[in-house]
Amino acid sequence: MCSGRVDPAFIFRAFANGVDGVFIGGCRLNECNYITHGNYVALATVLLCRRIMEHIGINPERLSIEFMSAGEGNVFTEEVDKFVKSVKGLGPLGTSDEIDEDQFRSKLDLVTNLIPYIKIVKAEKLSSRLENEEEYDGLFTSEEIEELFNEVVSYYIDPDRCKACMICARKCPVEAIEGGKGLIHVIDQDKCIKCNTCFEACPEKFAAVQKIVSEPVPPPLPEDARMLVREK
């Protein structure tokens, strides 16, 4: 599998399942056999995930990426051995990290839910081709990640404005909008990936979809109160 297919969700799922460290091996940079150069994407993904790990209190040394050719079995062995020794030195996940068990689970759940949003917001940087290691530290900053988590965007359908036109529901790529003909729509916040599609799709004359930043989303209308009463 191309290292470029390693999704941030895979990395944090591993930690959620109790893995003490994650090692990613990819082809050497600039030696991709295809035009995708997915190993640059993998590198940027790891740099992003390491910053997120810092933010939630997991030692970023628990995540590593190394590049080697398929014929360099000795390099692979050396790098894996080195990483295993490093992780053993850190101890089991949580023992040397600045996070307790309850915080750990809560913050991992938060990161998991935000990954689709983070990938959209940071898409340009995740496609960066870093040519030298001096660029690594500056791709994502601690301040940038702090801001990312503090200014999370959510979307909410104002029941007073919704006309049950179903345009946003049809456009939603993850079917996170519940509604039907004559039924005021609501967004399932657990399914929503914060992609902005519904906000852009909602007709300007209705402006029912609201963008909310760093604020709790109002509770949805109960189903028995969602029937739209049209003016005659």
Of the three residues 150, 168, 201, the one that is the final residue of a domain is: 150
Indicate whether 230 belongs to any domain: no
Contact of 161 with 207, CB cutoff 8 Å: yes
Can you tell me the distance from the alpha carbon of 155 to that of 133, in angstroms, rounded to the nearest whole number? 38
User: What CATH code is carried by the domain that includes residue 213?
Assistant: 3.30.70.20
Indicate whether 232 belongs to any domain: no
Q: Are residues 139 and 198 in the same domain?
A: no
Of the three residues 132, 150, 168, the one that is the final residue of a domain is: 150
> Which stretch of DSSP H or E encloses residue 200?
helix 197-201
pTM: 0.84
Indicate whether 96 belongs to any domain: yes
Q: Are residues 174 and 93 in the same domain?
A: no
Q: What percent of the chain has pLDDT over 90?
A: 72
Indicate whether 52 belongs to any domain: yes
In which band, very low, low, confident or very high, does the pLDDT at 102 lie, cut at 50, 70 and 90?
confident
Q: What is the pLDDT of residues 119-136, one digit of tens each?
A: 999 999 999 999 889 999
In which band, very low, low, confident or very high, does the pLDDT at 106 lie, cut at 50, 70 and 90?
confident
Indicate whether 18 belongs to any domain: yes
Q: Are residues 181 and 216 in the same domain?
A: yes
Cα distances (Å, whole numbers) of residue 202 to 29, 54, 207: 43, 38, 6
Q: Are residues 129 and 182 in the same domain?
A: no
Q: What is the pLDDT of residues 18-31, one digit of tens each?
A: 999 999 999 999 88
Q: Are residues 33 and 68 in the same domain?
A: yes
- Encoded tokens for 221: 């209308």
| Mean pLDDT for all residues in the chain | 91
Q: What is the pLDDT of residues 33-84, one digit of tens each?
A: 777 889 999 999 999 999 999 999 999 999 999 999 888 999 999 999 999 9
Contact of 229 with 182, CB cutoff 8 Å: no
Q: Are residues 8 and 121 in the same domain?
A: yes
Beta bridge partners of 209: 157
C-alpha closest to that of 223 among 138, 155, 159, 131: 159
| Range scoring the smallest mean pLDDT among 51-60, 63-72, 97-106, 160-169 | 97-106
Q: Are residues 7 and 112 in the same domain?
A: yes
Question: What does the buried/exposed string (b/e) look like for 179-208 if buried means 16 or more CB atoms within 10 Å of the residue's CB?
Answer: beeebbbbbeeeebbbbebbbebbeeeeeb
Q: Are residues 96 and 163 in the same domain?
A: no
Which residue segment(s) compose the domain that 179 sits in?
Answer: 153-225
Q: Are residues 106 and 132 in the same domain?
A: yes
Cα distances (Å, whole numbers) of residue 127 to 36, 44, 46, 189, 204: 10, 7, 12, 28, 33
Q: Are residues 36 and 86 in the same domain?
A: yes
Indicate whether 191 belongs to any domain: yes
Question: What does the buried/exposed string (b/e) look like for 33-43 if buried means 16 or more CB atoms within 10 Å of the residue's CB?
Answer: eeeebbbbbbb
What is the number of domains present in the chain? Answer: 2
Indicate whether 22 belongs to any domain: yes
Of the three residues 128, 150, 172, the one that is the final residue of a domain is: 150
In which band, very low, low, confident or very high, does the pLDDT at 98 lie, cut at 50, 70 and 90?
low
Averaged pLDDT, 152-160: 94
Indicate whether 38 belongs to any domain: yes
Can you tell me the distance from the alpha carbon of 144 to that of 187, in angstroms, rounded to the nearest whole number? 28
Q: Are residues 83 and 174 in the same domain?
A: no
Q: Are residues 135 and 185 in the same domain?
A: no
